[in-house]
């Protein structure tokens, strides 16, 4: 994990651009400020609705039971949080965090409209420094958020710290696909079509260009598994979904 002085001298990936380390969080926050109101629509358009299946698979792997405590980091518009809340029931508790206030409010509105309230809390927080007591949660999820984090190793350490012994982390994220002859079409869609859809549906091509580029800069499946193991997680494994377009990584604090 980098020291504060080392981070001051480093640069971070913001898509294909290299920016000062301390500037990335503000730029990521700006992206999601811009897309918050159209985030769910764009998810459906970008994935052809497959994101719902990926998230359903993730919830099925949480192992949560009624009455337990769950944390959804980078909760966005609340898809995973909704599944977590239904798993733990009214006797359990779900905490949603996001670094972006606009996205957190989108999620809060959606969950309230779905009739889920009372046992769900919302906290504006950075994944790199979660403001919770050690060993607070039976399960932690982070869906399509880790690639936007500046210091992923620091974030994984923070996620590890808030898990109870026996608890598990689930990281759902775009990854490195094995598409064979279809790979050029996927590249064309991601880097050319997606920004145009962003301009058409959300009035923001640049943010969706960043999102496509950030996938290419994210660690591949084996690299992320190794990072989780170095953070202290055990029995780490991953599941490739849609030929590795997305991967679900699972690790345990034993």
CB 111 within 8 A of CB 81: yes
Band of residue 45 on the pLDDT scale cut at 50, 70, 90: confident
Is pLDDT larger for residue 3 or for residue 212?
212
Residue 2 has pLDDT above 70, yes or no: no
pLDDT at 9 over 80: no
Asked if 204 and 35 touch (Cβ cutoff 8 Å), the reply is: yes
Q: Over the stretch 98-132, which tens digit does the pLDDT of each residue have?
A: 999 999 999 999 999 999 989 999 999 999 999 99
pLDDT mean over 240-244: 97
Q: Give the closest residue to 46 by CA, choosing from 202, 183, 176.
A: 202
Q: Using the predicted structure, report yes or no on whether residue 139 has a pLDDT greater than 70.
A: yes
User: What is the band of 46 on the pLDDT scale with cuts at 50, 70, 90?
Assistant: confident
10 pLDDT tier (thresholds 50, 70, 90): confident
Structure tokens at 166: 């026996």
Mean pLDDT of 145-153: 96
pLDDT tier, 53 (very low <50, low <70, confident <90, very high otherwise): very high
- How far lies 251's CA from each of 54, 93, 167, 171, 199, in Å? 17, 21, 9, 9, 37
Decide if pLDDT at 4 tops 70. Answer: no
Overall average pLDDT of the 54-69 stretch: 98
Choice between 10 and 253, residue whose per-residue pLDDT is larger: 253
User: Is the pLDDT assigned to residue 170 strictly greater than 60?
Assistant: yes
For residue 224, the model assigns a pLDDT of 98
pLDDT grade for 1, boundaries at 50, 70 and 90: low
Predicted local confidence at residue 228, as pLDDT = 98
pLDDT at 41: 80
Retrieve residue 43's tokens.
Answer: 């998810």
For range 65-92, the mean pLDDT: 97
> What is the distance between the alpha carbons of residues 211 and 98, in angstroms, rounded to a whole number?
17
Query: Average pLDDT of the chain?
Result: 93
- Domains of the chain (ranges, CATH numbers): 4-178+209-252 (3.40.50.150)
- Burial call 153-173: b when 16+ CB within 10 Å, e when fewer: ebbbbbbbbbbbeebbbbbbb
Coil, strand or helix at 8: helix
More confident residue, 136 or 207: 136
The C-alpha atoms of residue 128 and residue 134 are separated, in whole angstroms, by 14
């Amino acid at each position: 994990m980098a020291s504060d002085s080392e981070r001051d001298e480093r640069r971070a990936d913001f898509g294909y651009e290299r920016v000062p380390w301390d500037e990335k969080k503000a730029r990521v926050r700006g992206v999601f400020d811009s897309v918050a109101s159209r985030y769910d629509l764009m998810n459906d358009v970008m994935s052809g609705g497959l994101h719902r299946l990926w998230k359903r698979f993730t919830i099925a792997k949480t192992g949560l039971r009624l009455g337990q405590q769950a944390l959804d980091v980078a909760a966005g518009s609340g898809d995973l949080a909704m599944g977590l809340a239904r798993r733990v029931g009214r006797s359990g508790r779900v905490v949603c965090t996001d670094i972006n206030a606009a996205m957190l409010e989108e999620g809060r509105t959606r969950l309230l409209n779905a009739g889920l309230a009372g046992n769900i809390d919302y906290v504006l927080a950075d994944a790199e420094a979660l403001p919770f007591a050690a060993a607070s949660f039976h399960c932690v999820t982070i869906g399509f958020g880790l690639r936007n984090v500046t210091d992923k190793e620091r974030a994984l350490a923070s996620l590890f710290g808030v898990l109870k012994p026996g608890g598990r982390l689930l990281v759902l994220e775009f990854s490195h696909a094995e598409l064979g002859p279809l790979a050029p079409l996927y590249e064309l869609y991601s880097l050319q079509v997606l920004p145009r859809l962003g301009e058409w549906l959300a009035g923001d091509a640049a943010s969706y260009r960043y999102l496509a580029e950030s996938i290419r800069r994210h660690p591949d499946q084996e690299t992320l598994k190794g990072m989780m193991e170095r953070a202290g997680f055990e029995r780490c494994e991953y599941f490739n979904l849609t030929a590795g377009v997305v991967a679900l990584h699972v690790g345990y604090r034993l």
